[in-house]
Amino acid sequence: MGAPLEACSERERAGRTQGYTRASDPGWLTAPGKLFSVERDLALAVNMADEADRISMERFRALDLQIDTKPDLSPVTEVDHAIERGVRDRILRERPAHAVMGEEFGLHGDGAAAWRWVIDPIDGTRSFVRGNETWATLIALQHDGQTELAVASAPALRLRYHASRGGGAFLNGRRIHVSLISAIEDAFITHTSIPGFVRVGLAGRLVHLAGRCWDARGLGNSMSHLAVARGTADIGWTSRANVWDFAALALIVEEAGGRFTDRSTDDPQLGGTGISTNGLLHEMVLEAAGMAV
């Protein structure tokens, strides 16, 4: 969305990177042999999201879009491949000590690296191929498995979220916060597809929980949890997903003041469920979902 960051004026760059540097430190974290700059690496993530937006919007609703079916019967498009390949190659070129984990091409770089980028090129491919706007590119940077920064870009909706650990969560440059709803009966729950819940044996629990709520809507993975982060929903539930589906979203929700319980894995054959809430509802929701510890 917009010109590449390095091509912007100083004033434009400052606006695009609002909220990127942590207030609690000068923006640097020390890791063995590396320095991590929140501002520098989040600016890189934003720049990569800009390029991903360009690629995806050029082919969105294209009549000749190339669509294939993966072994798990989910769709994958030329756009998924092009975005992940572009982001991966950029990272390996500019951050050669970092690893990259992507949905379509798996792990590249040193699997034991402390720093790892996690990429979902198109979260919501089914929506993308049907011409619906509810999809996003998800980019996260992790240190020893903990997400330090995240970008979620939904260009068809003109929405760009970002967050850094300790630095808050932002939507289109404005800080966001979860809702203050404290009763299940007043809550708005969002979720992924009903067939997905049926396949993993959670449909009954979803229907029971949704029946207790004020309202329920299926928004898909990224849109469900991002709605929680911005306070327009109170609960988000994904039936089955992997690390690339949750890495960015979890940090955005948490930095907006919410909570995220992630049971995903790096193994696409396993997956796991994920629930986000505004925090006030979290324990009640986990109990209803059968995820209470």
CATH 3.40.190.80 domain span(s) along the chain: 184-289
Which of 165-179, 189-203, 266-280 bottoms out in mean pLDDT, i.e. has the lowest?
266-280
CA distances from 26 to 12, 39, 66, 101, 205 (A): 21, 10, 46, 28, 45
Q: What are phi and psi of 159, to 5 degrees?
A: -120, 130
Pairing of strands 168-171, 159-164: antiparallel
Dihedral angle, C-alpha 226, 49, 123, 215, nearest 10 °: 20
Question: H or E stretch including 33?
Answer: none
pLDDT tens for 94-141 read 999 999 999 999 999 888 999 999 999 999 999 999 999 999 999 999
**CA gap 135, 1 in Å, rounded:** 15
pLDDT at 286: 95
pLDDT tens for 130-177 read 999 999 999 999 999 999 999 999 999 999 999 999 999 999 999 999
CATH fold for domain 5-175: Fructose-1,6-Bisphosphatase; Chain A, domain 1 (3.30.540)
> Which CATH code for domain 184-289?
3.40.190.80
Label residue 71 by pLDDT band (50, 70, 90). confident
**CA gap 187, 132 in Å, rounded:** 26
pTM of the model: 0.87
Q: Are 181 and 240 in contact (CB under 8 A)?
A: no
Share of the chain above pLDDT 90, in %: 77
Please give the average per-residue pLDDT across 173-196, as a whole number: 98
How much of the chain is in helix, strand and coil states, percent to nearest 5?
35, 30, 35
pLDDT tens for 12-57 read 444 444 443 333 333 333 333 345 678 899 999 999 999 999 999 9
CATH 3.30.540.10 domain span(s) along the chain: 5-175
What b/e sequence results for 15-43 when a residue is b if at least 16 CB atoms lie within 10 Å of its CB, and e otherwise?
Answer: ebbebbbbeeeebeeeeeeeebebbebbb
